[in-house]
């Protein structure tokens, strides 16, 4: 792996980060955040440069691990951002669905807000390196553990997290939201530091 890891996304790479995030999560967010052009506009607008650890090769973004803090989240905007991109009605119904999907808060653990590795760079240890950097950042900030939520059917990601010491603590179905998000349940995984 020839990538360089750093805390913080260089501002000029926001469009690359939005595209990478959409590549990783568009399958589950597409029905709500799409069409793709609007989803990318929204992500480019809301990404917090200071809430990610990134893997760079020159000025090319190879991967990222976003996180949440009390100050905000890597890729979560507010209602005004949704309205700015999708209009009043589109922002209203999208906001209502997104709030129902991600209303839980964890004040104990450092929260991962997405791990993305570019196609062509997967399976080379980049995801493992980014998760190691997330663990180091969590320790630096004084958190006793890290928490993430992963789609139950994403067996590849769940296997990576398990190899890194994350334990599945619960599985929660999303009920009536399933037709909107394209998955049935999320698995919460926690690693003590």
pLDDT in tens, 89-101: 999 999 999 988 7
When pLDDT is cut at 50, 70 and 90, the band that residue 11 belongs to is confident
Looking at the chain, list the stretches that DSSP marks H as alpha helix, in order from N- to C-terminal side.
Answer: 14-33, 36-46, 79-101, 126-140, 155-163, 178-181
Confidence at residue 105, expressed as pLDDT on a 0 to 100 scale: 62
Confidence at residue 49, expressed as pLDDT on a 0 to 100 scale: 96
Confidence at residue 70, expressed as pLDDT on a 0 to 100 scale: 87
pLDDT of 76 strictly over 60: yes
pLDDT of 103 strictly over 60: no
* Choice among 75-79, 94-98, 105-109 with the minimum mean pLDDT: 105-109
Confidence at residue 125, expressed as pLDDT on a 0 to 100 scale: 92
pLDDT in tens, 120-146: 898 899 999 999 999 999 999 999 999
Give me the percent of the chain exceeding a pLDDT of 90: 79
Confidence at residue 104, expressed as pLDDT on a 0 to 100 scale: 59
The gap from C-alpha 124 to its chain's centroid, in whole angstroms, comes to 20
pLDDT of 111 strictly over 80: yes
Q: Does residue 17 contact residue 113 with C-beta atoms inside 8 Å?
A: no
Mean pLDDT for 29-36 is: 92
Instruction: State both tokens at 190.
Output: 């926690």
- Domains of the chain, with CATH numbers? 4-144 (3.40.630.30)
Give pairs for 170-178: CB < 8 Å, separation 24+: 174/101, 177/97, 177/100, 177/101
Q: Are strands 60-69 and 52-57 parallel, antiparallel or unpaired?
A: antiparallel
| Average pLDDT of the residues of the chain | 93
What is the spatial distance between Cα 156 and Cα 137, in angstroms, rounded to a whole number?
24
């Amino acid at each position: 792996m020839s990538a360089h890891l750093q805390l913080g996304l260089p501002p000029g790479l926001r469009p690359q980060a939005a595209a990478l995030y959409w590549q990783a999560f568009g399958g589950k967010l597409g029905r709500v955040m799409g069409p793709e052009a609007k989803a990318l506009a929204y992500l480019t607008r809301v990404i917090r440069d200071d809430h990610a650890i990134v893997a760079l090769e020159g000025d090319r973004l190879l991967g990222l691990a976003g996180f949440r803090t009390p100050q905000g989240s890597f890729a979560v905007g507010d209602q005004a951002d949704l309205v700015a991109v999708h209009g009043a009605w589109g922002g209203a119904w999208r906001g209502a669905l997104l709030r129902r999907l991600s209303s839980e808060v964890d004040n104990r653990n450092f929260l991962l807000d997405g791990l993305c590795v570019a196609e062509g760079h997967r399976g080379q240890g980049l995801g493992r390196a980014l998760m190691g950097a997330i663990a180091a950042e969590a320790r630096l900030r004084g958190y006793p553990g890290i928490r993430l939520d992963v789609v139950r059917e994403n067996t590849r990601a769940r296997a990576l997290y398990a190899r890194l010491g994350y334990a599945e603590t619960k599985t929660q179905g999303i009920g009536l939201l399933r037709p909107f998000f394209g998955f049935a349940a999320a698995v919460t995984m926690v690693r003590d530091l």
